[in-house]
Amino acid sequence: MSWRQRIRALHRDVGYAAAALTIAYAISGLAVNHIEDWNPSYVFRESAIDIGAVPRGTYAEMQAYVVKALGLPAGEVRGHFMETETLFRVFLVEGQEVRVDVRTGQGMLKRVHARPVLFEVNALHLNNLKGVWTWVADVFALSLLTLAITGLLLHKGKLGLAGRGKWFVGAGLLVPVAFVVYLYS
């Protein structure tokens, strides 16, 4: 087997092994690139509520009334705060909350839900898991490096790096170089 055949076999096999993670990282990358437009991991939903006037009492009693009126699990409650004379807030797990006007009982319930699939792939891509996943991500990075290098060596002649390949590599290199020059000059 020639060295070029070995390079092709290595490129093929590493490519197969890295395919699933490449797709996951690509999806996450597209989502995270637009973080200024939306939250790629979570959906925030606010819904109007009307629980009737909140009986005056201690803040803990007012919190208990709000929680019971909305049927919220007590384990979700993280605290409360009287923001103004009439606006009472009950804080829930994971950034969720209730804001209610104590006079009217009208307000908003803010809920947070993880986006299916995107939450998980973003956690992988952003290395939120740490620990062993860092090593998995490092091996993946090395496999991408292997794919890039072996990809450069797959063909010879006019189809290879010495032929038309050099123009594609140059064009690919020109994009990040142009951005760096633009940003830092």
Integer Cα distance of 137 and 25 in angstroms = 10
In the block, tokens 């890039």 appear at 148
Map tokens 């004379």 to a residue.
Answer: 85
pLDDT in tens, the chain (185 residues): 899 899 999 999 999 999 999 999 999 999 999 999 999 999 999 999 999 999 999 999 999 999 999 999 989 999 999 999 999 999 999 999 999 999 999 999 999 999 999 999 999 999 999 999 999 999 999 999 999 999 999 999 999 999 999 999 999 999 999 999 999 98
Question: Cα(28)–Cα(40) distance, rounded to whole angstroms?
Answer: 8
Provide the whole-model pTM: 0.72
DSSP SS3 for 55? coil
71: region left, alpha or beta (phi > 0 left; psi from -120 to 50 alpha)? left
For residue 179, the one-letter residue type is F
For 160-163, the CB contacts below 8 A with 24+ separation are: none
**What is the Cα–Cα distance from 29 to 147, expressed in whole angstroms?**
19
Cα 126 to Cα 96: distance, rounded to the nearest angstrom: 23
